Amino acid sequence: MVVKAATKKKLMDLGCPEIMAHKWADDRKWDIIVLMNFDDIMSIFSKQTQYIYPKGVVREKDIYDIVREIRENELNRLHNNPLALTKKEFYGFRDDLREEYIKKVEAFGMIPVGSRYSYLREDSQNFMNWINENPFEVKQ
């Protein structure tokens, strides 16, 4: 498989450790990664943690913290720079596409209801799930 260099660089720029970014960017573009929920992300890393960090096993909480940091850094980048999305990122300068992308980033890495990783869920995400019309459905 081929590691996508631009995806790996973007992950690293957003706060992901290099060795984790390398595994994550393996045959994946950013457009695919930004659509992942936490279960999707853990399916990549759960079996390979001993290879990613040979000095010790990485806990789910550590990966969740990294995912949360990536989400926050990307949202900060978008909110601090109104022209952050360039034509290169294929969204252009259209406001409707920009808002759609921001919604994708806000949902990035969220833990679905019923996930085995539900114990990691932030209080704010619990609140968002609580106010949904159907409390057993995570809106995306």
Reported as a single tens digit per residue, the pLDDT across 74-122 is 888 887 876 665 544 544 556 677 788 888 999 999 988 888 888 887 5
Backbone angles phi, psi at 65, to 5 degrees: -65, -40
Specify the pLDDT at position 91.
47
Q: Report the 10 Å Cβ neighbour count for 49.
A: 19
Q: Write out pLDDT tens, residues 4-32.
A: 899 999 999 998 888 888 889 998 998 89
Specify the pLDDT at position 95.
65
What are the residue boundaries of the structural domains of the chain, listed by start?
5-123
Spell out the residues 6+ positions from residue 91 whose beta carbon is closer than 8 angstroms to its own.
85, 97, 98, 100, 101
Cα dihedral 77→78→80→83 (10° resolution): 120
Query: How far is 28 from 5, CA to CA, in rounded Å?
Result: 10
Specify the 3-state DSSP secondary structure of 3: strand
Q: Write out pLDDT tens, residues 102-114.
A: 889 999 999 888 8
What is the sign, positive or negative, of the torsion defined by CA atoms of 61, 65, 70, 76?
positive
Q: Is-contact 120 111, C-beta < 8 A?
A: yes
Q: Is-contact 52 23, C-beta < 8 A?
A: yes
Which of 2-6, 33-37, 135-139 shows the lowest mean pLDDT across its residues?
Answer: 135-139
Query: How far is 50 from 57, CA to CA, in rounded Å?
Result: 6
Specify the pLDDT at position 115.
87
Q: Is-contact 36 108, C-beta < 8 A?
A: yes
